[in-house]
Amino acid sequence: MTSSARLLFFCLFSLVFTFVSAQEINDHGTAADHHNPEIECGGHGDYDPAGVILHHIADANEFHLIGDVSIPLPVFLYAPEHGWTVGLSSMFHHGETLVDGYVMNHGRINRLADAPAELLEGHHEVECIAHGTTTVGDKTQDVYYALVGGTPYLLDAPSVGEGGLLGGGITSFYDFSITKNVFTMLLASLLLIFLWSAVARGYKKNEGKAPSGIQSLMEPFFVFLRDEITIPMIGEKHYERFQPFIFTIFFFVLFCNLLGLIPIFPGSANVTGNLAVTMALAVISAIVAYVHGNRHFWEHTLWMPGVPAAIKLFILTPVEILGLVIKPFSLMVRLFANITAGHIIILSLISLIFIFGNNGESVVGAGAGAVVGVAFTLFMNMIELLVAFVQAFIFAILSASYIGAAVEDAHHHDEAGHHGEKKIAEGGAMGGAVTGMHTPAN
């Protein structure tokens, strides 16, 4: 593909991305102007770019296409006092129908928190979903209400992590649904299975011959990851044991990142921009590293030899134990922050269309916003494509460095200076500096 063809492709992609995102922003772009439980249906406030952007990057129980058209996903809901509610998200009719006390609120399923028993069974009409605020202590929190039969009912958040323990209490139900993020992770996993199955067949077919087809496409990735990540970070003695794991982490993060750049189904899910997903990946990497940690690793982590006991007890050991937590925490936050920031910037640029257009009052302003938005969206899409690969590489190389430190064989340093250089490299790994890092982090 020539440079002109690639530029044309990215321009067309940016136009499609801008149109699709702008349509979704238009569908969800006005916020109901209610700030107390006495809510009423009808009436919309000014365009709320922050609320729209946060809604766009959040998880959802359906893939929104355009207007009221969406692709439903399976829902599996459980409330201790009621039992299971199973079906498709389309049964909620985009928030117009209450099913067993559950309602669709801007793409996510919520449950009535203070409703009478008769509303927690069967189907009921929902007049509207409205936004409100409440004060807990010294903090003001956003809440939502469902107006059913002329009475507003407070809505519970969809899970403990999204408004439960972190937002003021344990929610009344559990959501085990196949959301956008879950669907995209399953899709990425299936694509990887098909891809590497085809590569494996290629190696068997071309044994002793030059690679061809999909095998020749993926072999440079294989060689690069082996020579630049697993061998330098883990060492030639142990790298083969952990190479499948490092490859899996790299390609899973990469595929999720790339699918998130596609503005329409089956893409558009912000998987690696979800803190729960990056936390799970980071914890898995930490478990693999620490479970395989040898005696040398744990001895130098918990009770370093040759150091006075008081220094070990009150300074070095607490710092090293804290480092065991900081390492996966840095992995979690780095991937989440970089991917989320890219999506927020692109959506902010697209929001210029509505900000300059002043909610449709200025056609010239909307046109100017469209020109600026498309131009900068093209640039940001190129940056995001690069970031998708870079973040997968960084996640894999740091995971490998932690594993390498855990399985590293005992050795002695004749010079204190060389030992100090190793500690500097270790600190760089914890802080995210990858350049020049050859020695595994400890």
Query: How many Cβ atoms from other residues are within 10 Å of residue 390's Cβ?
Result: 14
Of 401, 391, 395, 382, the residue nearest 441 (C-alpha): 401
Region of 227 (left: φ > 0; alpha: ψ -120 to 50; beta: rest) is: alpha
Where do we find the tokens 């918990």? Answer: 302
3-state secondary structure the chain: CCHHHHHHHHHHHHHHHHHHHHHHHHHHCECCCCCCCCCCCCCCCCECHHHHHHHHHCCCCEEEEECCEEEECEEEEEECCCEEEEEEHHHHHHHCEEECCEEEECCEEEEECCCCHHHHCCEEECCEEEEEEEEECCEEEEEEEEEECCEEEEEECCCHHHHHCCCCCCCCCEECCCCHHHHHHHHHHHHHHHHHHHHHHHHHHCCCCCCCCHHHHHHHHHHHHHHHHHHHHHCCCCHHHHHHHHHHHHHHHHHHHHHHHCCCCCCCCCCCCCHHHHHHHHHHHHHHHHHCCCHHHHHHHHCCCCCCHHHHHHHHHHHHHHHHHHHHHHHHHHHHHHHHHHHHHHHHHHHHHHHHHCCCCCHHHHHHHHHHHHHHHHHHHHHHHHHHHHHHHHHHHHHHHHHHHHHCCCCCCCCHHHHHHHHHHHHHHHHCCCCCCCCCCC
Q: pLDDT tens, 299-313?
A: 888 888 888 888 888
Which of 158 and 286 is assigned the larger pLDDT?
Answer: 286
With beta carbons less than 8 A apart as the criterion, state whether 439 and 426 touch.
yes
| Separation of first and last alpha carbons in the chain | 44
With beta carbons less than 8 A apart as the criterion, state whether 254 and 184 touch.
no
Confidence of residue 248 (pLDDT cuts 50, 70, 90): very high
> Residue 94: its pLDDT value, please?
84
With beta carbons less than 8 A apart as the criterion, state whether 59 and 269 touch.
yes
With beta carbons less than 8 A apart as the criterion, state whether 60 and 274 touch.
no
Euclidean distance between CA atoms 315 and 245, whole angstroms = 34
Mean pLDDT of 143-170: 68
Q: pLDDT tens, 189-209?
A: 999 999 999 998 888 888 878
Which of 330 and 156 is assigned the larger pLDDT?
Answer: 330
- The 74-79 sheet, strands edge to edge: 83-88, 74-79, 174-175
- The 102-105 sheet, strands edge to edge: 123-125, 97-99, 102-105, 108-112, 151-156, 139-148, 128-136
Where do we find the tokens 């900068």? Answer: 376
* Six-digit token string for 345: 């910037």
pLDDT over 70 (residue 358): no
Euclidean distance between CA atoms 435 and 226, whole angstroms = 17
Q: pLDDT tens, 333-342?
A: 999 999 988 8
Euclidean distance between CA atoms 157 and 204, whole angstroms = 51
Confidence of residue 374 (pLDDT cuts 50, 70, 90): confident
With beta carbons less than 8 A apart as the criterion, state whether 341 and 391 touch.
no
> Residue 393: its pLDDT value, please?
95
Q: pLDDT tens, 77-126?
A: 988 888 899 999 999 988 889 999 999 888 888 898 878 888 888 899 99
Confidence of residue 64 (pLDDT cuts 50, 70, 90): confident
pLDDT over 90 (residue 22): no
At residue 77, what are phi and psi to the nearest 5 degrees?
A: -115, 140
Which of 85 and 48 is assigned the larger pLDDT?
Answer: 85
* Six-digit token string for 436: 């020049």
Of 105, 252, 113, 244, the residue nearest 184 (C-alpha): 252
